[in-house]
Amino acid sequence: MTELCDLPGHELGRRFRSGEASALDAVESCLRRIEAVDGRVKAFLERTDDAARRAARAVDERFGRGEDLPPAAGIPLALKDVLATKGIPTTCGSKILRTYVPPYDCTPWARLREDGAILLGKTNCDEFAMGSSTENSAYFPTRNPWNPDTVPGGSSGGSAAAVAAGEAVWALGTDTGGSVRQPGALCGVVALKPTYGLISRYGLIAFASSLDHVGTFTRDVRDCAALLSVIAGKDPLDATSLSTERRDYTADLDGGLDGLRIGVVRDWLGEGVEPGVKAAVESSIDRLASLGAHIGEASLPHTDYALSAYYLIAPAECSSNLARYDGVRYGHRTADATDVVEMNMRTRGEGFGDEVKRRIILGTYSLSAGYYDAYYGQAQKVRTLVIRDFAQAYERFDLLLGPTSPTTAFRLGEKAEDPLAMYLSDIFTIPSDLAGNPAISVPCGLDEKGLPVGLQLMGRHLDEATVLRAAHAFEQDLGFSARPPLLEEASA
C-alpha cells in the first residue's frame, strides 16, 4: 500500500482539501518513514519533529476553518544544510559550523514557511557543498536508497535520498556544479536547477557565488513546478536575483511536445559514459521523438574546457567565501591560541575537511599575485565561450538533451581518493552552472544494476516553462514507477 509519504505533493494537497488526509497525517507518515529507514539512509543531520507537528496542526486548523491555502500548505519538506534556518542549527556538513545557529531564514524557506510548508529537518551534504557523493560530510556519509552500498550523489545527497526514500515529499538543495541534478539522477527523483538569479541566494551559504543555485527535489514534474512557483522571483536581499514576477509554473505543464525542437548533445553520449546510462538516454530520445518532438544533433564544443574553468572559478570564489570562518564571530574556535593568526590558522585547520582545504588552497593560489590573469581571468573567458556554445545551440533548438551524469550511483569510497575522477562526474552538469541556464534531471529508466538513470533537459535563460513542459510530457508517457527496494522492505 502506498503511504502518504510516498505521494507527490499535489496529491497530498488534494487530500488535505477533500478531508481524506490531514497535514499532520502526512507529517506523521514521513516521520514513521524516517524512523524506519534513516538509520540506513542517513539523510538527516537535524530533525525538527516537534516543530513539524506543531506547524502541521496549525495548517490543519486553517484548512478546518475553510481557508484557501496555497499549494505548499502542509507539504512536509527537507532543506539541505547549507540553507540558513533561523533558530535551527545549520552546519553545511562541516565541523567548523557544528555549533552555528543562524539568526535568520534563507529566502526560499521564508517563502515556503509563509505558504504553510512544513520543515522536517536539515539534510546531509558534502561539506560546504563541495563534492559529488555526500562522502565529504564531516558527520557521516548518506546512502543511496536504491542500494545502500552506493552513494546518493552529491553534494545535495541528503535531500535527494530523503525524497527518494519517502522521508520528505519535497526538498531543496543547491547546485554549483551539478549538486542538485546529479544526486537527483542517482536517486531517481526529479531535480531542477533553474536559471541563475531566478531563486534568491539569500541564506544559501555560499560556496561559489557566481555558480551557486538553489534547486528542487520532488517526486514528479508537477510538484517541481509547484515548488518552483513558491520560491522563484525577485528578492530585494539578493542583488543578483533577477527582476521576475512570481508566477504559477504548473499552469503551462500540459502543452505537450509537439513541434518542440530538441538538440541531442551527441558528444555527451560517447566515451566515459556507462552503457546503461547511454541506453536509457537513447531510448528516451526515441520516446521524445514519438511524442512529436523534432530531434536533431547539437554540439557544446567547450564542455571539457568548462570543467577546467569550473575548477578554477569555484575554488577561487570558495577561498574568499570561506574566509569568514575564522573563529571570531561564530562556529568553531581552537583552544588556547596565543595570537589571532595562530587562532585563525588552527581553527580553520581543525574545522575544515580535506576537500574544502584542497579547494581553499587551490583558489587562494589561483587568485594570488601573478596568477589571476592566467587562471581566474582565463576561466572567465572560457565561461564566455560556454555561454556562446549554448547561445548557438539555442538558435536551432528549444531544448538540449543529454545524460545528467556519466554514471549511475557508484560505490562508497570508489572515487574518494581521486579528486579528478570525482570531478568528472559533474562534467555534464557544470556547463549549465557556468552559463546559468535552467536544467532538469528526470528519471528515465534503470541500468542493469537496477539503479536509476537521469535524463537532463536544458533550456534557454528563464525558459523554465518549456523545460518543465517537456519533462512533464516525457514523465507522463514513461510512467516511471520503480521504487527503491529499501522501501518495499520498509513497508513489508
Partner 1 sequence: MTEVEAVIGLECHVELSTRTKMFCGCPNEFGGDPNTRVCPVCLGHPGSLPVPNRQAIEYTMKIALALGSEIARSSLFHRKNYFYPDMPKNYQISQYDLPIGTGGHLDIDVGGETRRIRMNRVHLEEDTGKTIHAGTTGRIAEADYALEDYNRAGVPLVEVVSEPDVRSPEEARAYLVELRALLEALDVSDVRMEEGSLRCDANVSVRTVGAEELGTKVEVKNMNSIRSVERAVRYEVERQREALDRGQALVQETRHWDEGRGVTSPLRSKEYAFDYRYFPEPDLPPVEPDEEWIEKLRAELPELPAERRRRFVEEYGLEPAMARLVGGAGSWADFFEEAVRLGADPRPAANWMTGDLAALLREHDVDLRSSKVTPAHVAEITALVSDGTISTTGAKQALAAVFADGRGVREVVEDEGLAQISDTSALGAIVEQVVADNPGPVEQFRGGKEGVIGFLVGQVMKASKGAANPQEAQRLLRERLTADPQAG
Partner 2 sequence: MPVEIDVDHVARLARLALSEEERERFRLQLGLILEHAERVREVAAADVPPTAQPVPQKNVFRDDDAPWECLTQDEALAGAPEAEDGRFKVPRIVEGE
For partner 1, the binding residues in 260-299 under the rule CB under 8 A are none
Q: Give the residue with the Cβ less far from partner 1, 132 or 321.
A: 321
Among 10, 181, 201, 213, binds partner 1 (CB under 8 A): 201
Give me the catalytic one of 132, 156, 179, 319: 179
Whether the CB-CB separation of 190 and 224 falls below 8 Å is answered with: yes
Query: 327 to each of 82, 96, 400, how far by Cα in Å?
Result: 19, 8, 45
Site for partner 1 in 344-363 (CB under 8 A): 344
Residue 372 interacts, among partner 2, partner 1, none and using kind-specific CB cut-offs from 5 to 8 Å, with: partner 1
Among 43, 242, 442, 467, binds partner 2 (CB under 8 A): 242
Q: Give the residue with the Cβ less far from partner 1, 330 or 480.
A: 330
DSSP assignment string, 347-372:
HHHHHS-HHHHHHHHHHHHHHSTTTT
Which residues 6+ apart lie within 8 Å of 237 measured at CB? 107, 200, 202
Give me the catalytic one of 29, 132, 155, 159: 155
**374 touches partner 1 by CB under 8 A:** no
Q: Give the residue with the Cβ less far from partner 1, 112 or 262.
A: 112
Residue 488 interacts, among partner 2, partner 1, none and using kind-specific CB cut-offs from 5 to 8 Å, with: none
**99 touches partner 2 by CB under 8 A:** yes
- 155 counts as catalytic: yes
Site for partner 1 in 98-117 (CB under 8 A): 100, 102-104, 106
Q: What's the sign of the alpha-carbon dihedral 127, 132, 136, 140?
A: positive
Euclidean distance between CA atoms 298 and 266, whole angstroms: 7
Half-sphere exposure of 307 (CA within 13 A, CB side): 14
Site for partner 2 in 410-449 (CB under 8 A): 419-420, 423, 433-437
Q: What's the sign of the alpha-carbon dihedral 64, 68, 74, 75?
A: positive
Q: Give the residue with the Cβ less far from partner 1, 371 or 480.
A: 371
C-beta neighbour count of 427 within 10 angstroms: 21
Among 249, 376, 410, 423, binds partner 1 (CB under 8 A): 376
Among 14, 240, 251, 286, binds partner 2 (CB under 8 A): 240
Provide the 3-class DSSP secondary structure of residue 44.
Answer: strand
Q: Which residue has the cell 532543506?
A: 79
**202 touches partner 1 by CB under 8 A:** yes
Give me the catalytic one of 22, 29, 42, 80: 80
Whether the CB-CB separation of 269 and 282 falls below 8 Å is answered with: yes
Whether the CB-CB separation of 170 and 212 falls below 8 Å is answered with: no
Q: What's the sign of the alpha-carbon dihedral 202, 208, 210, 216?
A: negative
- How many residues bind to partner 1 according to rule CB under 8 A? 45
Q: Which stretch binds partner 1 (CB under 8 A): 46-54, 114-122, 197-205, 399-407?
A: 197-205
Euclidean distance between CA atoms 380 and 88, whole angstroms: 37
**81 touches partner 1 by CB under 8 A:** no
Residue 242 interacts, among partner 2, partner 1, none and using kind-specific CB cut-offs from 5 to 8 Å, with: partner 2
Among 283, 299, 308, 320, binds partner 1 (CB under 8 A): 320
Residue 392 interacts, among partner 2, partner 1, none and using kind-specific CB cut-offs from 5 to 8 Å, with: none
Task: At 305, list the grid cell.
Answer: 574546457
Residue type, 144: N
- 441 counts as catalytic: no
Cis upstream peptide for 132 (omega within 30°):
no
**311 touches partner 1 by CB under 8 A:** no
Provide the 3-class DSSP secondary structure of residue 214.
Answer: strand
Site for partner 1 in 203-262 (CB under 8 A): 203-206, 208-210, 236-240
Query: 464 to each of 191, 248, 437, how far by Cα in Å?
Result: 13, 11, 9
**465 touches partner 2 by CB under 8 A:** no
Q: Give the residue with the Cβ less far from partner 2, 109 or 311.
A: 311
Site string for partner 2, 349-378 (x = CB under 8 A): xx-x-x--xx-xxx-xxx-x-----xx-xx
Cα 162 to chain center, whole Å?
Answer: 12
**309 touches partner 2 by CB under 8 A:** yes
Whether the CB-CB separation of 452 and 443 falls below 8 Å is answered with: yes
Instruction: Quote the crossing angle between the two packed helices 275-290 and 464-478, to the nearest 10°.
Output: 100
Among 245, 271, 338, 395, binds partner 2 (CB under 8 A): 338
Which residues 6+ apart lie within 8 Å of 242 measured at CB? 195, 197, 198, 234, 462
- 415 counts as catalytic: no
Catalytic residues: 80, 155, 179
Interacting residues with partner 1 (CB under 8 A): 82-84, 90, 92, 97, 100, 102-104, 106, 201-206, 208-210, 236-240, 316-317, 319-320, 323-326, 328-330, 340-341, 344, 364, 367-369, 372, 376
